Amino acid sequence: MKSERPHSPSPPLHDIAINKRRLLRDLNAVSRIGIGDHGSVTRLVFSIKELRSRQFLIHQMQEIGLQVHIDRIGNIFGRLDGTNAKSAALLVGSHLDTVVHGGRFDGTLGVIAALEAVRILKEQKIVLLSPVEVVCFVGEESSRFGYSTLGSSLVAGEVQGKDLAHAADAQGIKLEDILASMGIYRNHLPSMRRDPSTIKAYLELHIEQGPILEAKKKPIGIVTSIAAPTRFRVVFTGQANHSGTTPMEMRRDALVAASELIVAVEKICRKYSHMKKGRVVGTVGAMKIEPGIINAIPGKAELSVDVRSITANAKRRVVRLVQARIREIARRRKIRAEILPLREEYPVLLDKRLIRLLQACCKSRSITYEIMPSGAGHDAMQMAKVTPAAMLFIPSRRGISHSPLEWSEPEDICLGAQLLLDSIIRIGNETT
């Protein structure tokens, strides 16, 4: 058994400040990995760029002197011991993978701010009661495989083998094949869960990715709940044929069917977005057409559908309506429609006690904050199933994210990181 280190009393919270220059420098360094046109960042999960960003993090963790553990899928945990060798660890982090042509802060902020917070603890020789682990989860974004929060879902024991069946990227590479190349098969998934008794709590700092904080002029959001997506692919199969010879009434055009569906998703969701309790959003974000040439009727169209809500019932109702519409379009147009489920998630509530603790952290620095739900998905959504979880938001300029225009002001970034550090100290020193 490890010997217990003496518990040094922490100096007052206000005296422990993050190093703003270093935080911004590291954020900048990560954003250069995968940089593209117009300042966009692309680090799709399991791409070379994404692996390089994970290497950068491992290197930084080693420099600080954290104990680095990497699990089978590639989730990275950098641990700083506490005084109580038996205490479960406070996990703090987010993800480093991005969407295609995304921004520089989504996910990265949460990982790099956690790294900076722990670096300060180490530098100032502040030893908390519990260990703190900086965590980078693999594959939070669904952009490559249509499957989100892969790493945190595995840690939480939430991945079912059957869920992976339709997860494939635009090149047709299956997620299951990538996992197999790493020696991970369906029967291994349950054993990749981390024992929840080793986790004290989970904290995540993230950009809001929406317009509320900016509109309300609040520098901090404290998240109450996370809207969960239901995602599926739809494949319409009609008949590819010559665009010059086929009379209009004899066509079985898969793309026109798909276009009807896109409009239907918008219509159905708009109807629901006016309901106070059951706000639902729905998006068709990707489509593949075959043969995809100017002089042929499209014989095949494959679309992705993403429906989200904080209210499970409202979302279920919208999904049912959308799927009924798919069948109706296919019947009327005499084409085949397949619905391939990707994932169904349930909205989660974050921990009330931790929410109060984050409020107290804001108050002690006289920071105004907004209590708000999250429309975007996060790793906290999975972690909340196994441990008390909480999230802090900072404003996103013009509410834009998943875009190169994603931006948060350095001042807000530093404040968010400071509050993350304050809350790590409080939670890390709590006896449970």
Q: Where does this chain bind Mn ion (CB under 5 A)? A: 106-107
> Quick one: which of 19, 7, 96 has its CA closest to 59?
96
DSSP 35-103: B-GGG-B---TTSHHHHHHHHHHHHHHHHHTPEEEE-TT--EEEEE--S-TTSPEEEEEEE----TTB-
Q: Judge residue 236's burial from the number of C-beta atoms within 10 Å of its C-beta, 0-12 exposed, 13-18 middle, 19 or more buried.
A: buried
Q: Binding ligand GLV by CB under 6 A: which of 141, 158, 345, 379?
A: 141
Beta carbon nearer to ligand GLV, 10 or 309: 309
For the CB of residue 131, give the shortest distance to Mn ion in the complex, in Å.
Answer: 25
Q: Of the two residues 83 and 225, which places its CB atom closer to ligand GLV in the complex?
A: 225
User: What is the closest distance, in whole angstroms, from the C-beta atom of residue 354 to ligand GLV in the complex?
Assistant: 21
- In 10 A of CB 21, how many CB atoms? 10
Q: Are 417 and 18 in contact (CB under 8 A)?
A: yes
- Minimum CB distance to ligand GLV, residue 371 (Å): 20
- Choose the contact partner of 42 out of Mn ion, ligand GLV, none; CB within 5 to 8 A by kind: none
Contact status: 221 vs ligand GLV (CB under 6 A): no
**98 and 34 in contact (C-beta within 8 Å)?**
yes
- If the CB atoms of residues 299 and 377 are measured against ligand GLV, the closer one turns out to be 377
Q: Does 44 bind ligand GLV (CB under 6 A)?
A: no
Give min distance, CB of 141 to ligand GLV, in A: 6
The partner in contact with residue 377, picked from ligand GLV, Mn ion, none with C-beta cut-offs of 5 to 8 angstroms by kind, is ligand GLV
C-alpha of 109 from chain center: 12
Q: Taking the complex as a whole, how short is the minimal distance between the CB of residue 90 and ligand GLV, in angstroms?
A: 23
Return d(Cα 139, Cα 137) in angstroms, integer. 7
Which one of 301, 350, 376, 389 is in contact with ligand GLV (CB under 6 A)?
376
Distance in Å, CB of 377 to ligand GLV, minimum: 4
The residue ranges that bind ligand GLV (CB under 6 A) are 141-142, 148, 376-377
